[in-house]
Structure 1
Amino acid sequence: MSAKLETLSQNLQSHLGERLKSLKVALGEITIEVAAGDYLEVMKTLRDEPALGFEELIDLCGVDYLGYADGREDVPGAGKRFAVVVHLLSVANNWRLRVRTFAEDNVFPVVASVVDVWNGANWFEREAFDLFGLVFPGHPDLRRILTDYGFVGHPFRKDFPISGYVEMRYDPEEGRVIYQPVTIEPRENTPRIVREESYGDSV
């Protein structure tokens, strides 16, 4: 581990203490995991503590761990399905950090919004809500951002059907776009390989 990562690791352990569920170093990056209940306060500490100084949120995304290492208790978040992963940057200290927190409820996943900590999280959280169904209490305008407002389900969930639940089409009789149940028949395409009869023969 480089001296810079060693310093960051020590600073994280010093300022986060028991709120730090895990800290791992891999491929020159530090990833920490915190409980959903501690997430918002940890994020404020990461921003406000000069020894950490993460003034910029680079990315925030949802992750669906459905089926990941089923039955194993030695994997991160065992038994929990949805996580929020955040990438932070400290320009002042020239270091980066990945933060992960698992939602406690697999049916209705909730993780506190960090929009009040980093305003740039706004659209990232809306995207995670739209695509994964993660709810962010404290978000000023949590609504769909990529799919239509009437869209059913969350398309990045691993149990979302490939063909979706509904399809839309323009109805010339009604003069508007309408939604109807999916009518796509599942099919399997097996590509045929067509070769000349002499293919592979030695000359």
Structure 2
Amino acid sequence: MTTHLETLVAALQSTLGERAEITVALGEVTVVLKAADYYQAMTQLRDDAALRFDTLIDLCGVDYQNYGEGAWDGLRFAAVTHLLSVEKNWRVRVRVFAPDDDMPLVPSVVNIWRAANWFEREAFDLYGILFEGHNDLRRILTDYGFIGHPFRKDFPVSGYVEMRYDPEQKRVIYQPVTIEPRENVPRVIREENYGMK
């Protein structure tokens, strides 16, 4: 007798074939696709009668720079999508790596699941991942004048610019960061009889 998870893996292998790398860990199924196969495979995941992934739950960006304490030697940026089939009662995680680290570009799935719209905008805003075919790819969380992508591992913690209200100009102004890096050393106070009566 096959389990629910084994049935899902068999259906995924039958539909996606050699295009997908399928793994099971901790009771969760992960499918890794190449960017060139991503759009067609995602359409099949939604439309195939054996799968019926009708709901996109989440889509996020990931920066794998320094992943595994520097042991990672693969591509840097990925878009990770979580799908749900209400009819079949199963879930899958789909990961697609952008083939170019300098200009991370993967196909948009907005035409497959409209719910991907704001998720893809968030991944673009925070990681700089471009979604080809997205008709309104613009920042969603940071200011339009923001420079860089703040969730990238190489983005400085203090950022590049800061904003403040200038009472003389009566407006908000942007200027280079004036925070000087410093090292905080905690002060430890030791008492001889601490905790004793």
Bin the TM-score by the shorter chain: over 0.9
Q: In structure 2, what residue type is equivalent to 1:119?
A: R
Aligned partners of 1:195 and 1:68: how far apart in 2? 39
Aligned partners of 2:122 and 2:144: how far apart in 1? 13
Counterpart of 2:11 in 1: which secondary structure? helix
| Structure 1 residue ranges (4+ consecutive) displaced by more than 4 angstroms after TM superposition | 69-72
Equivalent residue number for residue 174 of structure 2: 179
State which of 188, 191, 196 in structure 2 corresponds to 1:196: 191
C-alpha deviations, 1:102-145, integer Å up to 9, x for none? 00000110011100000000000000000000001111211000
Gaps of 5+ in 1: none
Query: Is 1:53–2:52 an aligned residue pair?
Result: yes
Shift in Å, 1:200: 5.7
Aligned partners of 2:115 and 2:173: how far apart in 1? 35
Equivalent residue number for residue 30 of structure 2: 31
Aligned partners of 1:69 and 1:136: how far apart in 2? 26
Equivalent residue number for residue 122 of structure 1: 117
Deviates more, 1:88-97 or 1:63-72: 63-72
In the superposition, the TM-score normalised over structure 2's length comes to 0.95
Aligned partners of 1:187 and 1:71: how far apart in 2? 26
Shift in Å, 1:68: 2.0
C-alpha deviations, 1:157-191, integer Å up to 9, x for none? 00000000000111122221111110101111122
Matches within 5 A, 1:1-203: 3-20=3-20, 22-69=21-68, 78-199=73-194
Shift in Å, 1:153: 0.4
In the superposition, the TM-score normalised over structure 1's length comes to 0.92
Report the number of matched residues: 197
Gaps of 5+ in 2: none
Distance 1:197 1:71, change over 3 A: closer
Shift in Å, 1:193: 2.3
Shift in Å, 1:70: 7.3
C-alpha deviations, 1:6-28, integer Å up to 9, x for none? 111111111111211x1111111
Counterpart of 1:38 in 2: which secondary structure? helix
Percent identity, aligned pairs only? 66
Q: In structure 1, what residue type is equivalent to 2:122?
A: E
Aligned partners of 2:129 and 2:70: how far apart in 1? 24
Aligned partners of 1:197 and 1:12: how far apart in 2? 65
Counterpart of 1:5 in 2: which secondary structure? helix
C-alpha deviations, 1:13-54, integer Å up to 9, x for none? 11111211x111111110010001111111000000010100
Aligned partners of 2:18 and 2:192: how far apart in 1? 70
Aligned partners of 1:140 and 1:181: how far apart in 2? 33
Aligned partners of 1:152 and 1:197: how far apart in 2? 52
Q: In structure 1, what residue type is equivalent to 2:23?
A: K
